[in-house]
């Protein structure tokens, strides 16, 4: 949804309410998981090492639940306290030149697997685009902890195609904006994990015998 003025809270709420039962703008659902797609879709993947160990993984999961992978200044999420559940709705607002673009989405898949046979724990979700979104497709936000080498990675995977004449006309610019979002999202996750990870007290113990 493109507007000349920045949409207020009432406009965002109305946009999401009107799309509670509307269909997705693409098919089949789940394409960010299966990657069983036609050539008209672009597939983009950003993978970032967040650190090592369970503490990093739990902090990364918490960051996903808080929607902290959405970088401040580049986007605004409505609403950042939305529960990660299939069927929940959010809208992503960003500035598109002189216009504001409000992009509604619905969560289509949630993953929370632990101690899988391959030794990798995974947490995350994917949402799909609804009517009014400039793009058509799915984005998947996930973190994984590889117990084999203790590494924790954040991954953003997007499967998309233009869904508006402006996006089609300005597709090279749209691709630049998409790549910028992926990079900024990775940085936002690294900052969030650094903030949410429990602090270890490294101060030396007090020697009471000298008091």
Q: How far apart are CA 49 and CA 146, in angstroms?
A: 11
Say whether the peptide bond before residue 28 is cis (omega within 30 degrees of 0). Answer: yes
Would you place residue 200 in the very low, low, confident or very high pLDDT band (cuts 50, 70, 90)? low
The answer, yes or no, to whether residue 203 has pLDDT greater than 50, is: no
Which SS3 state, helix, strand or coil, does residue 189 take? Answer: helix
Domain range 2-197, CATH architecture: 2-Layer Sandwich (3.30)
The answer, yes or no, to whether residue 204 has pLDDT greater than 70, is: no
Stronger pLDDT, 29 or 167, i.e. the higher one: 29
pLDDT at residue 53, as a whole number: 96
Number of alpha carbons in the 13 Å side-chain half-sphere of residue 189: 32
Domain ranges of the chain: 2-197
CA proximity to 84, closest of 71, 104, 66: 66
- Span 178-206, average pLDDT: 83
The answer, yes or no, to whether residue 62 has pLDDT greater than 90, is: yes
Reported as a single tens digit per residue, the pLDDT across 138-166 is: 999 999 999 999 999 999 999 999 988 77
Residue labelled with tokens 């999961």: 61
User: Could you tell me what percent of the chain has a pLDDT over 90?
Assistant: 71
Reported as a single tens digit per residue, the pLDDT across 67-124 is: 999 998 889 999 999 999 999 999 999 987 788 999 999 999 999 998 777 889 999 9
What contacts 128, CB < 8 A, 6 or more positions away? Answer: 24, 25, 26, 29, 105, 106, 108, 137, 138
141: which 2 tokens? 């936000």
- Span 55-68, average pLDDT: 97
Number of alpha carbons in the 13 Å side-chain half-sphere of residue 44: 18
Which 8-state DSSP code applies to residue 9?
A: H
């Amino acid at each position: 949804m493109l507007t000349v003025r920045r949409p207020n809270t009432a406009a965002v709420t109305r946009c999401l309410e009107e799309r509670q039962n509307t269909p997705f703008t693409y098919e089949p659902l789940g394409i960010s998981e299966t990657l069983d797609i036609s050539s008209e879709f672009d597939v983009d993947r950003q993978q970032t090492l967040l650190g090592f160990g369970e503490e990093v993984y739990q902090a990364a999961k918490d960051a996903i639940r808080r929607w902290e992978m959405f970088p401040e200044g580049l986007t605004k999420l409505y609403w950042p306290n939305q529960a990660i559940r299939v069927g929940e709705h959010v809208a992503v607002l960003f500035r598109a030149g002189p216009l504001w673009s409000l992009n509604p989405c619905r969560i289509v898949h949630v993953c929370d697997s632990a101690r899988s046979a391959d030794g990798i724990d995974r947490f995350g979700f994917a949402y799909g685009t609804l009517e009014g979104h400039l793009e058509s497709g799915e984005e998947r936000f996930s973190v994984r902890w590889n117990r084999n080498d203790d590494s924790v990675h954040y991954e953003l995977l997007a499967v998309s195609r233009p869904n508006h004449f402006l996006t089609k006309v300005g597709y090279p610019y749209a691709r630049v904006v998409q790549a910028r979002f992926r990079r900024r999202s990775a940085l936002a996750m690294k900052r969030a994990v650094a903030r949410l990870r429990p602090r270890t007290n490294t101060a030396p113990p007090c020697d009471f015998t000298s008091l």
